[in-house]
Amino acid sequence: MSGEHTSTPVAARVRRLEARLTEAGVVTEEQLDAALAAMLKGASPVNGARIVARAWTDPGFRERLLADANAALPEVGLSMAGGIQEQRLKVVENTATTHHVLVCTLCSCYPIGLLGPSPSWYKSEAYRSRVVREPRAVLAEFGLELPGDTTITVWDSSAESRYMVLPRRPEGTEGRSEAELAALVTREGLIGTAAV
């Protein structure tokens, strides 16, 4: 699926928005660069993987994370601060009967600090439009075949709200350390286009 997607329309819109904001005096180019640098500093799927591993091994943390992710993130040394404004994070948990997948239908809103830079297919119009209409088919194109009775929920990010999937813990991983568990988690698992 990823080969079909391009991000040039999104990139062009971002460049136009940046130009309008600087021309209007809302923000300087230096402020935009500083905001981007702050967002990307330490941005990695390793951060999301650490969160998942902690949730898999610490039921209390898992509860707090699902109830209020922004309040739970400091427990692992992370936050949704940085950039121009703080975003609200909601963590959604995959279960035996429910699978979650993320999208931003309007642009490419995405928790960069927790998942690293977004993949090109995430920003593509093909993914953004199709995953909402036919999530099961799109997930199958990524190689994720779900049972027919699995409920698939698509979460649409916005400028204010971001989402992260808490994947199901793989069978046979009891007794592994948080670091070993975190090494199993991929960015695609955090988006919901792959199982862990």
pLDDT of residue 57: 98
* Residue 3, pLDDT score: 37
Q: Where are the domains of the chain?
A: 2-191
**How would residue 37 be classed by pLDDT, with cut points 50, 70 and 90?**
low
Which two three-digit tokens encode residue 121? 């297919």
Among the ranges given (19-33, 90-104, 117-131, 151-165), the one the predictor scored with the smallest mean pLDDT: 19-33
Which of 137, 126, 196 minimizes the C-alpha distance to 165?
196
- Tell me the catalytic residues: 104, 107-109
Name the packing angle between helices 45-57 and 59-67 (round to 10°). 120
**Residue 1: its pLDDT value, please?**
44
pLDDT tens digits, 9-23: 656 777 788 888 889
Environment class of 121 (CB within 10 Å of its CB; exposed 0-12, middle 13-18, buried 19+): buried
Q: 2-191: what fold?
A: Nitrile Hydratase; Chain A (3.90.330)
Instruction: Give 195's contacts (C-beta < 8 A, 6+ positions apart).
Output: 144, 167, 168, 189
Quick: pLDDT tens for 60-113: 999 999 999 999 999 999 988 765 556 899 999 999 999 999 999 987 788 888
Q: Which structure tokens are listed for 131?
A: 């995953």
Task: Enter the pTM of the model.
Answer: 0.80
Of the candidates 156, 163, 167, 142, the one whose C-alpha atom is nearest the C-alpha of residue 49 is 167
Among residues of the chain, what percentage have pLDDT more than 90?
63
Output the pLDDT for position 118: 87
What pLDDT, on the 0 to 100 scale, is given for residue 4? 39
pLDDT of residue 7: 46
Say how far apart CA 63 and CA 148 lie, in whole Å. 28
